[in-house]
Amino acid sequence: MLKIGVLALQGAFIEHVHMLRRAGAEAVEVRLPEELDGLDGLIIPGGESTTIGKLAASASLVKPLREFACSRPTWGTCAGMIFLARELDNHAQPILALMDISVDRNAFGRQLDSFETDLAVPALGDTPWHAVFIRAPVVTAVGDDVEVLARLEDGRIVAVRQDHLLATAFHPELTEDLRFHAWFLQLVQQAD
């Protein structure tokens, strides 16, 4: 059985744990560097990216997380996407700077704090994905090695993959649809 860690410093980590278990994986909460040992993959959840960054720094987790995500499949949702990005538009905060994407942290502003919409995600099949956005970021630039998985109707990029790294601006763990978690598990399986 695949063993997947979920960074459990702050935010919506328990929902990922439940989804991973439903998708047939072993899920463990990660709060200490040694808890990364032996994991097949990792999820960095949504929450507040500045808080996750600060807590990761005080738990001496930034370097171990970077080393882990350099070689093992890692998926960031929302704040996790921000934490994986190479560059943030207009913000200075600790990030892992691993994925070749630029991210606008609160792209929808205060007027549109959260919303839900159906997205085409060809990697998951023909059925649209019901995406839940909460104070969501968007990807404003991608490098050559980055595959765009989903865009909003206006063209803004909200899901990307670069090799073994996956990032979504929305929250698949807040739906009942297991397809994204199942797809991530497939990436993990293929990385072995």
Q: Is 76 in the site for ligand GLN (CB under 6 A)?
A: no
Contact, 124 vs 179, CB < 8 A?
yes
Q: Is 106 in the site for ligand GLN (CB under 6 A)?
A: yes
User: Catalytic: which of 15, 16, 173, 181?
Assistant: 173
Contact, 79 vs 49, CB < 8 A?
yes
**167 DSSP β-pair partners:** 76, 160
Closest separation in Å from C-beta 16 to ligand GLN: 12
Residue 16 known to be catalytic: no
Do the bridges between strand 165-168 and strand 74-77 make them parallel or antiparallel, or are there none, so unpaired?
parallel
Residue 18 known to be catalytic: no
Question: Which one of residues 105, 139, 157, 173 is an interface residue with ligand GLN (CB under 6 A)?
Answer: 105
Residue 171 known to be catalytic: yes
Residue 41-60 contact track with ligand GLN, rule CB under 6 A, x = bound: -----xxxx-----------
Q: Whose Cβ is closer to ligand GLN: residue 105's or residue 181's?
A: 105
User: Catalytic: which of 29, 48, 87, 171?
Assistant: 171
**What are the b/e assignments for 10-44, b being 16+ CB within 10 Å?**
bbbbebbbebbeebebebbebeebebbeebbbbbb
Tokens of 69: 């995500």
Chain contacts with ligand GLN (rule: CB under 6 A):
46-49, 78-79, 82, 105-106, 134-135, 137
